[in-house]
Amino acid sequence: MLEAQDRVGGRTLNHTFEDGTAIEIGGQWVGPTQDRLYALAAELGVEHYPTWDEGENLLHRDGRLIRYTGESFGLPPHVIAELGLAQWRLDRLARSVPLEAPWSAPKADRLDGETAASWIRRNVRTALGRAFMRVVIEAVFSAEPEDISMLHFLFYLHSGGSLDLLTRTGGGAQESRFVGGSQLVSIRLAERLGDQVVRLGRPVRAIGQGEGGTVVSGEWGSLEAGEVVVAVAPAVIGRIAFDPPLSGRRTHLYAKMPPGYVIKCSARYERPFWRDAGLSGQAGSATHPLAVTFDNTPDGYEGGVLMGFLEGAHGRRASALTAAARRDLVLDGFATYFGEQAREPLEYVDQDWAEEEWIRGGYGAHLGPGTWTHYGHLLREPEGRIHWAGAETSAVWNGYMDGAIRSGERAAAEILAAGAA
Amino acid sequence: MLEAQDRVGGRTLNHTFEDGTAIEIGGQWVGPTQDRLYALAAELGVEHYPTWDEGENLLHRDGRLIRYTGESFGLPPHVIAELGLAQWRLDRLARSVPLEAPWSAPKADRLDGETAASWIRRNVRTALGRAFMRVVIEAVFSAEPEDISMLHFLFYLHSGGSLDLLTRTGGGAQESRFVGGSQLVSIRLAERLGDQVVRLGRPVRAIGQGEGGTVVSGEWGSLEAGEVVVAVAPAVIGRIAFDPPLSGRRTHLYAKMPPGYVIKCSARYERPFWRDAGLSGQAGSATHPLAVTFDNTPDGYEGGVLMGFLEGAHGRRASALTAAARRDLVLDGFATYFGEQAREPLEYVDQDWAEEEWIRGGYGAHLGPGTWTHYGHLLREPEGRIHWAGAETSAVWNGYMDGAIRSGERAAAEILAAGAA
């Protein structure tokens, strides 16, 4: 197991505050139907607890804060009705997209021929409804509706169950968190495998394959292997020199799977003061760059942690700021939603996943228009002795930790089957 | 001048037939307003001649061949009317896109939020009109309408003048050809610069920059330079290890500029037999994979050369075939349009640009939805001592040889201005 970085975990990463409290600055949640992640965590003794989900949520709109609970999202009834209809259409269409072969969905060419943005424009008519859908898509994909093929949007909904399941906290993909932080799953697994198996700081620069096997090499030396599993993010696969070179078609597939843009931002406070005001810490805004926030206080911690995402264009703009200006922008978001106290945290940390040289973006890659129908069949197709894993290759929970585990199991099964044949 | 390959010319490439006749298997044409290309060719003594454009053109439709001349394209009047209206709208919209800053066009967000495919679906209602637009876009971009941001489509039309100018032979971008083949321009320029300046077979693997200058290196060794111009295709920029690493934003820009897919196919015959039948050699089909053909016989040559493109999905499918099956497919196209004689050429050659390891696709890169508005301003913005050139960075004739020359002149001016400051 050759890892480019000096740590395991990929797009999961713990951060330890000065007082020893660990939070996640990468992927973190686990929820219903993510059975493979639950199973692996249980096997490794990593426990989980419910994400904080008590109190009222906030919608920030036209400079006002609207408190709500339940399904209303603080929106007016006609917008709720419109969004409800759109969601019904989306989930119905999503169910028609076969997870193993999205290109064979009814009207796949047409759906893959447009962006989620143009579909929403036709199917959601109010400015508020459109703005809300944009925030939801940015929160789910860390990419903008114009980036994403409508077919990919539908596949992704189906892959994770439904729009509701993807966006919910309780009962959805944000339902639970891991004790000690999600990276602990990878850390424990690496400990079990040991240093002889898991080699850190070994960027793979070249993979050659011939009749007899493969040679994987880098500045650190080289290794021989019968079969190779490549499980890096699609955006960085092109940095590996393959011999023979990858086919033009596969190169184009990865050229059409750009990563999302997200900066995940966390602030630690002496107390979770927003809870005193009856607030859940969950806020959404169509105008403030910090469009989505959560109470990310670990279970049993006496302090408080607010977390928010700078997604898509907001993330790119914030990445061009100085660290201090970015901190101010984020704290302004927290203060707008939860009060002036939020401007003075004990600690602040943010993580820009596009700046990670061996990852280049989070949460994961999305498929632009025309990609599933033209290149999708290559996603899991081995090239000789090279197999492809990673969250983006999974049919179920694509883009999530659970999908990453499933992809590893699938790649392992491929190799075992090849050995048996 | 460090060139990865053992030849100059990039996406232009001559092929010499057994009898010594040179044709182009890459970019080839020059036309009105491509002043910088005309000027450079003249300076280097490379002459040009009109592309063969006599005789009737063919539209292949529903298994029938329809002969036409002029502007009718062999289409029924109601389709001509519909396409004429669409073209008028396109050219009017295109003129509103500022070439130096497409993101500042009126309604840029909306135009960049959809694909050319969804715009065409709304604005062209007949199946035949839509099929025709698809063939035109594939011929111009070597990519499908669903791949391309509508804003990029409009920018590109404006960059080259108008849809008419881009697609015409006489009076348009296909008007003339170079004596000896277009690669001769680069070959002559390299000869003038000499071996001390032009170093072939030197793939650049790393570019480091500091206060004092830059270090450019590869397996061949390293060189120091005050400033560096990177003029490789966007799809392969990521193969260079930059130190400090490129910003996440710039990495994402290139991740959202996939190349087109095109296989350019040529067959040589004893005579240009189609001319005897009053045909120009120019055919278009919405059903045969070889969707666009030309008479590519060099001026004064007694033999005949037919050339055709396998674009986009047709190219990808054909690339998966054996060389013999691909040849049969292409010759079947020529025979369908020009008669059975076409099945037996003296020679056949094709070039799949996606398989070129240092280029990875032709004719060039296109911008998917959301890219111009979110990343476009980075396209020509230097990163310290690194400057960006290549056809994709040009405001005028973007994607063409003329644009490539303009981009080089612009990058040189940047460096001179930096030196003067």
Write the CATH number of the domain with boundaries A14-53+171-182+259-355.
3.90.660.10
| Residue (of A86, A18, A7, A6) closest to A349 by Cα position | A18
Contact A144 B114 (CB under 8 A): no
Question: What are the chain B neighbours of A251 within 8 Å (beta carbons)?
Answer: 235, 354, 360-361
For the stretch B115-158, pLDDT in tens is 999 999 999 999 999 999 999 999 999 999 999 999 999 999 99
Phi, psi of A248 (to 5 degrees): -55, -40
- Identify the pLDDT of residue B71: 79
Task: Give CA separation, B271 vs A391, B50, B277, B295, B335, in Å.
Answer: 56, 19, 12, 11, 15
* Residue of B239, B319, B369 lying closest to A147 (CB–CB): B369
Can you tell me whether residue B309 is helix, strand or coil?
A: strand
DSSP assignment of B45-110, as one string? T--EEEPP--SEEEEEETTEEEEE-TT-TT--HHHHHHHHHHHHHHHHHHHTS-TT-GGGSTTHHH
C-alpha distance from B31 to closest chain A C-alpha (Å):
30
Question: What are the chain B neighbours of A312 within 8 Å (beta carbons)?
Answer: 374
- Identify the pLDDT of residue B235: 93
Can you tell me whether residue B270 is helix, strand or coil?
A: coil
Domain extents in chain A? 14-53+171-182+259-355, 76-167, 205-257+367-420
Taking the C-alpha atoms of residue B364 and residue B362, their distance in angstroms, rounded to an integer, is 5
Contact A354 B249 (CB under 8 A): yes
- Identify the pLDDT of residue B419: 79
Q: Which CATH number fits domain B205-257+367-420: 3.40.190.10, 3.50.50.60, 3.40.50.720, 3.30.565.10?
A: 3.50.50.60
A:B CB pairs within 8 Å: 157
- Structural Rg of chain A based on CA atoms: 22
Question: What are the chain A neighbours of B320 within 8 Å (beta carbons)?
Answer: 249
Contact B121 A113 (CB under 8 A): yes
Contact A113 B238 (CB under 8 A): no
Contact B113 A146 (CB under 8 A): yes
Task: Give CA separation, B29 vs A109, B179, B186, B265, B294, in Å.
Answer: 33, 11, 14, 16, 12
- Identify the pLDDT of residue A420: 67
Taking the C-alpha atoms of residue B364 and residue A252, their distance in angstroms, rounded to an integer, is 12
Contact A146 B316 (CB under 8 A): no
For tokens 């994403």, name the residue: A148
C-alpha distance from A247 to closest chain B C-alpha (Å):
6
Question: What are the chain A neighbours of B115 within 8 Å (beta carbons)?
Answer: 113-115, 118, 369-370
- Name the closest residue on chain A to residue B252, using Cα atoms: A258
* Residue of B146, B251, B259 lying closest to A255 (CB–CB): B259
**Angle CA A328–A333–A334, to nearest 5:** 100
- Identify the pLDDT of residue A72: 81
| Residue (of A282, A394, A265) closest to A331 by Cα position | A265
- Name the closest residue on chain A to residue B356, using Cα atoms: A248
ipTM of the complex: 0.89
How would CATH label the architecture of B14-53+171-183+259-355? Alpha-Beta Complex (3.90)
Number of H helices, E strands in chain A: 15, 17
Taking the C-alpha atoms of residue B192 and residue B2, their distance in angstroms, rounded to an integer, is 16
Judge residue A22's burial from the number of C-beta atoms within 10 Å of its C-beta, 0-12 exposed, 13-18 middle, 19 or more buried.
middle
The sheet carrying B262-269 orders its strands as B64-68, B56-61, B279-285, B290-295, B304-311, B262-269, B347-352
Low-confidence ranges of chain B (pLDDT < 70): 420-421
Low-confidence ranges of chain A (pLDDT < 50): none
| Residue (of B294, B328, B290) closest to B309 by Cα position | B290
Q: How crowded is the C-beta side of B166, counted as CA atoms within 13 Å? A: 26
Asked whether the beta carbons of A298 and A23 are under 8 A apart, the reply is: yes
| Residue (of B3, B403, B118) closest to A121 by Cα position | B118
Contact B251 A239 (CB under 8 A): no
Structure tokens at A392: 């983006």
Domain B72-167 CATH assignment equals 1.10.3720.10: no
Taking the C-alpha atoms of residue A365 and residue A256, their distance in angstroms, rounded to an integer, is 9
Task: Give CA separation, B229 vs B82, B214, B363, B384, in Å.
Answer: 45, 11, 21, 11
* Residue of A248, A319, A370 lying closest to B354 (CB–CB): A248
- Identify the pLDDT of residue A419: 79
**All residues at 6 or more sequence positions from B155 whose CB lies less than 8 Å from its CB, including other chains:** B94, B97, B99, B102, B105, B372, B398
- Name the closest residue on chain B to residue A242, using Cα atoms: B357
- Answering whether pTM is above 0.90, one says yes
Question: What are the chain B neighbours of A113 within 8 Å (beta carbons)?
Answer: 115, 117-118, 121, 145-146
Task: Give CA separation, B117 vs A115, A346, B283, in Å.
Answer: 10, 51, 23
Write the CATH number of the domain with boundaries A76-167.
1.10.405.10
3-state helix, strand, coil in chain B (%, to 5): 40, 20, 40
- Which of B115, B130, B147 to mutate to test binding with chain A, by most A CBs within 10 Å of its CB? B115
Question: What are the chain B neighbours of A356 within 8 Å (beta carbons)?
Answer: 248
Structure tokens at A330: 């984020």
